[in-house]
């Protein structure tokens, strides 16, 4: 099977892609529409994989990973790590903070079996005090753990399934108010001894970790989109008997866990997607007979779950048109999205939650043709304007801005004259200036900046001189400066910094000496510095830190000692320090903490089983 076939049947294949790369949103899968290069670009952003031209035997490119995973043959398998076949750990933060910098140490190794991984599959920060994780030990299997950033405070919350079984907690969702007497906590899914899934809640204590609702399914994918809104949990559930997927809600009790309303009686159900909290109201899309996939909202009651507007009216037989809204993003007291109708094609829309207040912002391509606008993940609000890329059928895909009015929606600049388009991407705001990557057809894909005017939308630096691209990615703001990875054609893809001027754009450090790339990926800010994963050719993938200078750029710690890779995750903010996972020399994942310096590097806990507190 070739990519044309995959693209033609993308609705079927996108579900399989979602299974293998769970970080991808429904909107990102819809936006890529099966286009391989766009899919590769999104996967590079989400997972930090190497670009096609910058892979090494130790760091296979995204295209190689797609081939390995069977995408080119139409089958999907788990991504392969050529150094080991262990799944990469994931720690996801619900808050982004700048952390102070002071020390680095192993927090706790709770695995008691040297040749097995201790895998953290999910994590969430609650009120800035507690990190919830799903962790494995030989004695208990995979159960719910928590940490406050100390050795003593890294403990098992509860052995949910006793007797040799494991609950495998997953799909964590934060809640600020589970009930009147439980001010903070999380919702999550867990399995029982029969491997059927249930909804649980926890306030971090053993007695406060309780079953909310028992489902009948053994398939975790039947429960999706856990979204907290004002202390209540919305999610979608595919009924085991009927097979239809509908919107559910839970207030943290069994009696208060129910289907909101049965919007679509057919076998597939309304399949709610794009769940987002806007000012305490849940907005989502649903596919219903008579209207197709349109924008809906819900206050958690059947009467309060209503169609916002039928943007694409009509239908023909069993085929439902629908405007298919995607990319919901809030700003300026409204929220914006892209939608399609028969008159205007696919364009930028806005809504205040009412039918009358849901209107098209501008028909960028007059008539039924579409401007192919791209909102997430490359959009940034800067002051009062929303920046996005669109194709007006004259200039190609270029940078646009909008203040929410027709008159205030305009092309910023035709960066690549003609209809080819510069394909602006990776938009990042630093002190009122928008930075992004674009290709003007002369200098290749390079770093650009804009203040929203045509005159001051300019190339910052031709990092890879000539028509070839330096491919700046990702682009992160750190203490008023820009930091990114780029390839200048001499040093490979390495760490760069910029103050927005050509003379102030420079290579920070050639981490992998010579023309090879260090495989920089997964940026995060820690204590006013940038943390990232890289390899210097002597040590495999390790966690590094940089203040934007060569002397201030260093590997935080070589875990494990020697040339092996620690496969570190990015630190998440916990009580003023960064928490992350790394693999030791025995191929076990351990929990580490850092405040940004290499001091205090000795292990504080190792090779002992942890008992229930």
pLDDT (tens digit per residue) in 190-210 = 999 889 999 999 989 999 999
CB–CB of 395/352 below 8 Å?
no
The answer to whether residue 79 scores a pLDDT higher than 50 is: no
In a domain, 609, yes or no: no
Tell me the pLDDT band of 366, cut-offs 50, 70 and 90: very high
Q: Indicate the DSSP class of residue 116.
A: S
Closest-CA residue to 299 (of 338, 225, 357, 353):
353
- pLDDT value, residue 30: 65
Tell me the pLDDT band of 318, cut-offs 50, 70 and 90: very low
Query: For residues 173 and 226, what is the distance between their CA atoms, to the nearest angstrom?
Result: 6
Span 587-611, mean pLDDT? 55
- pLDDT value, residue 96: 33
The answer to whether residue 299 scores a pLDDT higher than 90 is: yes
In a domain, 608, yes or no: no
Tell me the pLDDT band of 90, cut-offs 50, 70 and 90: very low
In a domain, 315, yes or no: yes
The answer to whether residue 371 scores a pLDDT higher than 60 is: yes
Span 175-196, mean pLDDT? 74
Which residues pair with residue 273 across a beta bridge?
Answer: 285
Tell me the pLDDT band of 118, cut-offs 50, 70 and 90: very low
- pLDDT value, residue 110: 56
Residues 272 and 315 in one domain: yes
CB–CB of 509/544 below 8 Å?
no
- pLDDT value, residue 10: 62
285-320 burial, b at 16+ Cβ within 10 Å, e below that, comes to bbbbeebbbbbbbbbbeeeebebbbbbbeeeeeeeb
Residues 166 and 72 in one domain: no
Which residue range(s) make up the domain with 42? Answer: 1-82
**Cβ atoms < 10 Å from Cβ of 114:** 12
- pLDDT value, residue 603: 33
In a domain, 606, yes or no: no
- pLDDT value, residue 111: 54
Residues 353 and 234 in one domain: yes
- pLDDT value, residue 601: 35
Span 410-432, mean pLDDT? 92
Range from 280-294, 328-342, 586-600 that averages highest in pLDDT: 280-294
| Low-confidence winner among 261-275, 309-323, 387-401, 590-604 (lowest mean pLDDT) | 590-604
Span 528-534, mean pLDDT? 89
Span 175-185, mean pLDDT? 56
Query: For residues 388 and 340, what is the distance between their CA atoms, to the nearest angstrom?
Result: 17
In a domain, 377, yes or no: yes
Cβ contacts of residue 257 below 8 Å, gap of 6+? 199, 212, 213, 248, 249, 250, 251
Span 178-183, mean pLDDT? 46
Tell me the pLDDT band of 260, cut-offs 50, 70 and 90: very high
- pLDDT value, residue 207: 94
Long-range contacts of 429-433 (CB under 8 A, 24+ apart): 429/380, 429/382, 429/477, 430/477, 430/480, 430/481, 430/482, 430/500, 431/480, 432/382, 432/383, 433/500
Q: Which of 22, 55, 82 is the last residue of a domain?
A: 82
> If DSSP codes are grouped into helix, strand and coil, which group holds residue 110?
coil
Which residues pair with residue 450 across a beta bridge?
Answer: 434
Residues 350 and 302 in one domain: yes
Residues 92 and 29 in one domain: no
- pLDDT value, residue 585: 64
Residues 37 and 10 in one domain: yes
| Low-confidence winner among 187-191, 496-500, 606-610 (lowest mean pLDDT) | 606-610
Span 566-581, mean pLDDT? 77
CB–CB of 576/101 below 8 Å?
no
The answer to whether residue 168 scores a pLDDT higher than 70 is: yes
- pLDDT value, residue 25: 67
Tell me the pLDDT band of 328, cut-offs 50, 70 and 90: confident
**398-419 confidence digits (pLDDT tens):** 999 999 999 999 999 999 999 9
Residues 13 and 138 in one domain: no
Number of domains in the chain: 2
Q: Which of 41, 63, 82 is the last residue of a domain?
A: 82
Q: Which residue has the higher pLDDT, 43 or 560?
A: 560
Residues 61 and 92 in one domain: no
Residues 62 and 169 in one domain: no
The answer to whether residue 426 scores a pLDDT higher than 80 is: yes
Task: Return the CATH number at 66.
Answer: 1.10.1470
Residues 78 and 93 in one domain: no
Structure tokens at 381: 């609000």
The answer to whether residue 612 scores a pLDDT higher than 90 is: no
In a domain, 607, yes or no: no
Residues 348 and 481 in one domain: yes
- pLDDT value, residue 141: 86
Query: For residues 47 and 93, what is the distance between their CA atoms, to the nearest angstrom?
Result: 15
In a domain, 305, yes or no: yes
Q: What percent of the chain shows pLDDT beyond 70?
A: 71
Closest-CA residue to 76 (of 8, 2, 16, 1):
16
Summary mean pLDDT of the chain: 79
**44-60 confidence digits (pLDDT tens):** 555 544 333 333 333 33
| Low-confidence winner among 9-23, 123-137, 506-520, 568-582 (lowest mean pLDDT) | 9-23
In a domain, 601, yes or no: no
Residues 77 and 91 in one domain: no
Note the pTM of the prediction, 2 decimals: 0.77
Task: Return the CATH number at 544.
Answer: 2.140.10
- pLDDT value, residue 448: 97
Q: Which of 31, 48, 82 is the last residue of a domain?
A: 82
> If DSSP codes are grouped into helix, strand and coil, which group holds residue 62?
helix
- pLDDT value, residue 114: 43
């Amino acid at each position: 099977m070739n990519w044309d076939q995959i693209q033609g049947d993308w609705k079927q294949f996108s579900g399989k892609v979602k299974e293998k790369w769970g970080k991808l949103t429904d909107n990102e899968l819809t936006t890529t529409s099966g286009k391989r290069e766009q899919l590769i670009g999104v996967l590079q952003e989400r997972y930090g994989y190497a670009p096609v031209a910058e892979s090494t035997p130790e760091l296979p490119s995204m295209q190689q990973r797609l081939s390995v995973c069977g995408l080119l043959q139409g089958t999907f398998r788990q991504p392969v790590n050529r150094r080991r076949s262990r799944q990469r750990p994931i720690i996801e933060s619900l808050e982004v903070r700048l952390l102070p910098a002071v020390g680095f140490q192993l927090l706790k190794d709770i695995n008691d079996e040297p040749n097995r991984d201790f895998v953290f599959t999910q994590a969430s920060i609650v009120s800035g005090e507690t990190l919830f994780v799903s962790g494995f030990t030989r004695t208990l299997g995979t159960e719910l753990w928590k940490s406050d950033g100390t050795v003593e405070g890294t403990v098992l919350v509860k052995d949910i399934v006793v007797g040799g079984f494991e609950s495998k907690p997953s799909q964590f969702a934060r809640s600020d108010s589970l009930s009147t007497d439980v001010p903070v906590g999380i919702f999550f899914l867990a399995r029982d001894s029969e491997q059927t899934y249930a909804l649980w809640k926890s306030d971090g204590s053993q007695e406060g970790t309780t079953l909310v609702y028992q489902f009948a399914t053994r398939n975790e994918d039947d429960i999706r989109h856990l979204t907290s809104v004002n202390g209540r949990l919305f999610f979608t559930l595919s009924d085991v008997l009927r097979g239809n997927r509908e919107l559910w809600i839970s207030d943290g009790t069994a009696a208060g866990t129910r289907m909101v309303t049965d919007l679509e009686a057919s076998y597939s159900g309304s399949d709610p997607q794009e769940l987002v909290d806007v000012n305490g109201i849940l907005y989502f899309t649903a596919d219903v007979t008579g209207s197709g996939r349109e924008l809906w909202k819900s206050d958690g009651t059947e009467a309060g779950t209503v169609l916002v507007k039928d943007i694409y009216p009509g239908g023909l037989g069993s085929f439902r048109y629908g405007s298919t809204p995607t990319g919901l993003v809030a700003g300026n007291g409204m929220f914006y999205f892209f939608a399609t109708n028969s008159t205007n094609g696919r364009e930028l829309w806005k809504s205040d939650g009412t039918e009358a207040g849901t209107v098209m912002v501008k028909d960028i391509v007059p008539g039924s043709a579409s401007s192919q606008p791209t909102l997430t993940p490359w959009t940034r609000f800067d002051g009062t304007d929303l920046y996005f890329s669109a194709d007006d059928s004259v200039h190609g895909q270029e940078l646009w801005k909008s203040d929410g009015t027709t008159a205030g929606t305009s092309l910023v600049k035709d960066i690549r004259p003609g209809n080819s388009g510069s394909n602006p991407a990776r938009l990042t705001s630093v002190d009122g200036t928008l930075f992004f990557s674009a290709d003007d057809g002369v200098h290749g894909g390079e770093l650009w900046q804009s203040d929203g005017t045509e005159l001051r939308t300019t190339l910052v630096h031709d990092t890879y001189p000539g028509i070839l691209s330096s491919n700046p990615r990702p682009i992160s703001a750190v203490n008023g400066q820009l930091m990114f990875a780029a390839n200048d054609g001499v040093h490979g893809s390495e760490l760069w910094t910029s103050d927005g001027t050509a003379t102030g754009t420079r290579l920070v450090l050639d981490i992998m000496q010579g023309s090879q790339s260090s495989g920089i990926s997964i940026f995060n800010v820690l204590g006013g510095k940038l943390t990232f994963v890289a390899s210097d050719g002597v040590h495999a993938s390790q966690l590094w830190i940089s203040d934007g200078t060569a002397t201030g750029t260093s590997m935080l710690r070589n875990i494990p000692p020697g040339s092996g890779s620690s496969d570190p995750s990015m630190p998440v903010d916990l009580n003023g320090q960064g928490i992350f996972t790394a693999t030791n020399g025995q191929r076990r994942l351990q929990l580490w903490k850092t405040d940004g310096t290499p001091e205090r590097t000795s292990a504080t806990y190792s090779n002992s089983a942890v008992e229930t507190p």
